[in-house]
């Protein structure tokens, strides 16, 4: 037995194993999952609806109709769930799922000429195959073709690739591997476990179920039969090699990778069919998804991972190596162990894999990258924009996922930055900064060509990998490994944007209020230390928080210009601190915390008349407002602890006027003495926000 090998941080595989189990146990569609999360249905009910929706959609409740898939490629995962939850199903539910629960009872059988497979079928009834028998052998052509395709799959997967044979099937029908032809709308086929014949690792005998006509599937007829045979026979090999179920939920922990490999195997055995192309559009469209995602769809698109490995490591039996390593390790760690034996790693190859996914469609190079990449969809870019100046942008990437940021230069060269989060934390996203700049003189940047440099900065513990792709017009593309820099951006700029009630240019935290959701932009002057010279670096903009505070974190030293977006301020506000822009010099590891911006209303008026307000003496308080046109205005009053005490709407004409309030709360009681905050808004747009003192 192998000793445990940890080449990634060990927590990655522990957490990913747990998450893969959760996804396998609960990979239901939207409404079913929502009802399960709310406790409206049980886990067993969710499994039942998920299964019956594909087998007999007429039985599914109307609220789940939208969840029913036209056809799912492989039902093996659903079969595993049905067996596990069988005791929890009602008698009625069990009756609807009987064909999932037992070996099919078919009347006829035919043994392949090599003696390895027994094909079971009916010639009458709902499960019958086409009776056509062109060679007058007494066996329907469809049955003979099934046996032929089974032998061809055996030749490729066992003889040529050297994969291990599935355990022998010693059921009453004989030692052959059993294959059943049935009417199974909603699926191409599936594998069902039969008997456990080994432990440490657990291995099972299995039998295969295939559709009897393939008229409902994306690929039709015999072509669909061929690729399904190749797909499901690899499942027989996988379950006969290792069936890892660490949490004992009846579902294979590695099913996401098993499905990816089996979908790849279809093209390996029958290259001319290409059913796998149907599953690529969603995979190439939704990029920021973990590698280990299992959702009854994405795992089939993940087959391109094996197309990538097959091309990258030709003649090195990488697929067989991974299957062998899965006896000892969970799926991703098994990939890493197999790649380590070849002097590589999962992290390095994962990053390169995501980069290859950029080179498809019209960008395909079938000699260097995917041999059928011209048939693939093109990746959905997170950003595709002209390059106008040096840029540093923020990217949030989920664990084992990647994103794509493209920049077009004046000479039509496309530079694409592809960050990959290859490490922990698995259950959440991590952030990094991507830099692209003209020049070749920054040591913390990687040169992409004679004109441009790129870099990835991060202060997190995540293991980042990054690739840049340079695609010049009418020239060959290039991939460049971008060296990540950890913990190098340590400086920061922060401050507060506030309503300067007394107009003195100084923020009084006790009596003055911050301005919320004001947009600020940040630009770094570049190497020459001057602005408007073409080498500036633009940073992601930020908004002020509820308190009026803002922050630009993880900066390197340089000269910066901060600009407040005037359009995001309340209407009619003027600066009391010297304008809307500020230049700041930042040194290495320096935290500047006092870049403040104060603003006061142009035609300043008191917050309220009178203020303090004494209800018993004054009767009503007047709150001044000036409108350019008629509006319905809403007055909301809060205590300083955040409780709403008053809320009323009133229609006003244009011009200066007052909103009147008698100091009573929503229950008609005079509010206690204290400091209150009132807000005036129209159509959810802030008009005024002030403090009001009430004395009883």
Q: Domain segments of the chain: what residues?
A: 1-27+247-379, 30-68+70-98, 105-242, 381-486, 491-601, 615-694
How high is the pLDDT of residue 411?
93
pLDDT at residue 546 above 90? no
How high is the pLDDT of residue 4?
41
Q: Which two tokens stand for residue 263?
A: 């979908």
How high is the pLDDT of residue 426?
54
> Count of CB atoms within 10 A of residue 541's CB?
12
d(CA 597, CA 500): 9
Q: Are 170 and 153 in contact (CB under 8 A)?
A: no
Which residues, in sequence order, are CB contacts of 34 under 8 Å at separation 6+?
Answer: none
pLDDT at residue 60 above 50? yes
Encode pLDDT of 495-506 as tens digits. 999 988 777 788
Q: What backbone torsions phi and psi does residue 218 show, to the nearest 5 degrees?
A: -65, -55
How high is the pLDDT of residue 18?
37
CATH code of domain 615-694: 2.60.40.4070
pLDDT at residue 2 above 50? no
Helix, strand or coil for residue 200? coil
DSSP 471: E
- Check for a shared fold between 105-242 and 491-601: no
How high is the pLDDT of residue 247?
85
What does DSSP say about strands 491-499 and 591-592: parallel, antiparallel, or unpaired?
A: parallel
Q: How many CA atoms within 13 Å lie on the side-chain side of 132?
A: 7
Look at 53 and 128; give whichever has higher pLDDT. Answer: 128
Sequence-separated contacts (24+) of 475-479 with Cβ below 8 Å: 476/365, 477/359, 477/363, 477/365, 478/448, 478/449, 479/352, 479/355
d(CA 634, CA 647): 7
- Compute the mean pLDDT over every residue in the chain, rounded to the nearest whole number: 88
Looking at the domain covering 105-242, what would its CATH class be?
A: alpha beta
User: For the residues 578-597, what does the mean pLDDT come to?
Assistant: 89
pLDDT at residue 100 above 70? yes
Give the pLDDT band (50/70/90) at residue 423: confident
C-alpha separations of 284 from 276, 281, 403, 549 in Å: 13, 5, 11, 39
d(CA 235, CA 228): 11
DSSP 354: H
What does DSSP say about strands 519-524 and 558-564: parallel, antiparallel, or unpaired?
A: antiparallel
> Count of CB atoms within 10 A of residue 300's CB?
25
Q: Are 281 and 112 in contact (CB under 8 A)?
A: no
DSSP 122: B
* pLDDT above 70: percentage of residues in the chain: 93
Look at 627 and 673; give whichever has higher pLDDT. Answer: 673
Encode pLDDT of 279-291 as tens digits. 999 999 999 999 9
d(CA 31, CA 530): 56
> Count of CB atoms within 10 A of residue 644's CB?
12
What does DSSP say about strands 187-198 and 203-211: parallel, antiparallel, or unpaired?
A: antiparallel
How high is the pLDDT of residue 495?
95
d(CA 449, CA 112): 59
d(CA 564, CA 571): 14
How high is the pLDDT of residue 210?
97
Give me the helix-helix angle, 303-312 and 346-356, nearest 10°. 100
Q: Give the lowest-confidence range in 170-174, 263-267, 470-474.
A: 170-174
pLDDT at residue 561 above 60? yes
What does DSSP say about strands 558-564 and 513-514: parallel, antiparallel, or unpaired?
A: unpaired
Give me the residues paired with residue 498 across strands: 514, 598
CATH architecture of 491-601: Sandwich (2.60)
Q: Are 63 and 33 in contact (CB under 8 A)?
A: no
Bond preceding residue 217 cis, omega within 30 of 0: no
Which residues, in sequence order, are CB contacts of 2 under 8 Å at separation 6+?
Answer: 328
Q: Which two tokens stand for residue 134?
A: 């062109």
215: buried, middle or exposed (CB in 10 Å: 19+, 13-18, 0-12)?
A: exposed
Encode pLDDT of 630-673 as tens digits. 889 999 999 987 889 999 999 988 877 889 999 999 899 999 99
pLDDT at residue 588 above 90? no
Encode pLDDT of 296-305 as tens digits. 899 999 999 9
pLDDT at residue 622 above 50? yes
Q: Give the lowest-confidence range in 523-527, 611-615, 646-650.
A: 523-527
Encode pLDDT of 439-460 as tens digits. 888 888 999 999 999 999 887 7
Q: Are 333 and 322 in contact (CB under 8 A)?
A: no
How high is the pLDDT of residue 682?
82
Q: Which two tokens stand for residue 13?
A: 């595989």
pLDDT at residue 570 above 90? no
Give the pLDDT band (50/70/90) at residue 201: very high
pLDDT at residue 102 above 90? no
Give the pLDDT band (50/70/90) at residue 595: very high
Burial 277-298 (b: 16+ CB within 10 A, else e): bebbebbbeebbbbbbbbebbb
Look at 97 and 63; give whichever has higher pLDDT. Answer: 97
DSSP 363: G
DSSP 290: -
pLDDT at residue 553 above 90? no
Q: Are 196 and 202 in contact (CB under 8 A)?
A: yes
What does DSSP say about strands 177-182 and 117-121: parallel, antiparallel, or unpaired?
A: parallel
How high is the pLDDT of residue 1?
37
User: For the residues 179-183, what does the mean pLDDT come to?
Assistant: 95
Look at 4 and 481; give whichever has higher pLDDT. Answer: 481
Give the pLDDT band (50/70/90) at residue 421: very high
38: buried, middle or exposed (CB in 10 Å: 19+, 13-18, 0-12)?
A: exposed
Encode pLDDT of 305-326 as tens digits. 999 999 999 978 999 999 999 9
Q: Which of 482, 483, 518 is nearest to 497 (CA)?
A: 518
């Amino acid at each position: 037995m192998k000793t445990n090998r940890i080449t990634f941080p060990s927590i990655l595989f522990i957490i990913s194993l747990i998450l893969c189990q959760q996804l396998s146990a609960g990979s239901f569609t939207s409404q079913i999952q929502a009802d399960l999360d709310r406790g409206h249905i049980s886990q067993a009910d969710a499994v039942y609806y998920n299964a019956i929706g594909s087998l007999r959609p007429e039985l599914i409740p109307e609220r789940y109709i939208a969840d029913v898939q036209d056809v799912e490629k492989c039902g093996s995962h659903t079969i595993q769930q049905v067996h596990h939850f069988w005791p929890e199903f009602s008698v009625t539910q069990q009756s609807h799922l009987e064909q999932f629960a037992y070996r099919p009872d078919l009347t006829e059988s035919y043994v392949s000429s090599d003696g390895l497979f027994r094909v079971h079928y009916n010639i009458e009834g709902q499960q019958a195959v086409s009776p056509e028998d062109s060679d007058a052998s007494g066996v329907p052509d469809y049955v003979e073709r099934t046996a032929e395709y089974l032998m061809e799959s055996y030749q490729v997967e066992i003889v040529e690739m050297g994969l291990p044979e599935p355990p022998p099937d010693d059921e009453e029908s004989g030692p052959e591997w059993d294959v059943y032809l049935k009417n199974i709308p909603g699926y191409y086929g599936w594998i069902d476990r039969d008997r456990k014949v080994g432990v440490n690792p657990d291995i099972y005998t299995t039998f295969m179920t295939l559709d009897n006509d393939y008229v409902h599937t994306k690929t039709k007829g015999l072509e669909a039969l061929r690729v399904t045979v190749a797909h499901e026979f690899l499942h027989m090999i996988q379950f006969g090699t290792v069936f890892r179920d660490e949490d004992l939920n009846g579902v294979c922990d590695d099913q996401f990778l098993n499905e990816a490999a089996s979908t790849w195997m279809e093209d390996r055995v029958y290259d001319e069919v290409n059913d796998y192309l149907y599953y690529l559009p969603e995979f190439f469209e939704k990029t920021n998804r973990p590698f280990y995602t299992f959702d009854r769809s994405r795992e089939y698109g993940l087959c391109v991972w094996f197309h990538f490995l097959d091309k990258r490591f030709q003649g090195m039996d990488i697929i067989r190596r991974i299957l062998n390593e899965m006896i000892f390790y969970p799926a991703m760690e098994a990939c890493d162990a197999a790649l380590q034996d070849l002097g590589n790693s999962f992290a390095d190859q994962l990053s390169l894999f995501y980069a290859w996914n950029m080179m498809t469609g019209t960008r395909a190079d079938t000699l260097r990258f995917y041999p059928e990449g011209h048939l693939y969809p093109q990746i959905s870019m997170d950003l595709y924009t002209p390059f106008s100046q040096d840029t540093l942008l923020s990217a949030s990437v989920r664990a084992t996922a990647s994103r794509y940021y493209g920049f077009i230069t004046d000479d039509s060269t496309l530079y694409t930055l592809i960050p990959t989060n290859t490490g922990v934390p698995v259950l959440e996203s991590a952030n990094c900064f991507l830099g692209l700049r003209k020049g070749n003189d920054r040591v913390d940047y990687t040169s992409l060509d004679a004109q441009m440099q790129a870099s990835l900065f991060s202060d997190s513990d995540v293991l980042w990998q990054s690739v840049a792709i340079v695609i010049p017009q009418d020239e060959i593309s290039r991939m460049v490994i971008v060296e990540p820099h950890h913990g190098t951006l340590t400086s920061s700029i922060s401050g507060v944007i506030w309503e300067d009630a007394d107009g003195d240019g100084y923020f009084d935290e006790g009596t003055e209020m911050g301005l919320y959701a004001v947009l600020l932009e940040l630009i770094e002057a570049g190497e020459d230390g001057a602005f408007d010279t073409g080498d500036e670096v633009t940073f992601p903009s930020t908004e002020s928080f509820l308190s009026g505070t803002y922050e630009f974190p993880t900066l390197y030293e340089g000269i910066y210009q901060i600009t407040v977006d005037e359009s995001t301020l309340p209407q009619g506000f003027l600066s009391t601190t010297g304008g809307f822009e500020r230049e700041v010099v930042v040194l290495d590891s320096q935290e500047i915390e006092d870049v403040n911006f104060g603003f006061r209303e142009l035609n300043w008026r008191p917050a309220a008349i009178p203020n303090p307000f004494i209800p018993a003496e004054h009767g009503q308080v007047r709150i001044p407002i000036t409108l350019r046109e008629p509006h319905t205005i809403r007055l909301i009053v809060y205590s300083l602890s955040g409780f709403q005490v008053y809320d009323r709407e009133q229609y006003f004409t244009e011009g200066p006027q007052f909103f009147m309030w008698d100091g009573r709360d929503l229950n008609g009681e005079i509010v206690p003495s204290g400091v209150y905050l009132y807000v005036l808004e129209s159509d959810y747009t802030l008009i005024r926000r002030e403090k009001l003192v009430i004395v009883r």
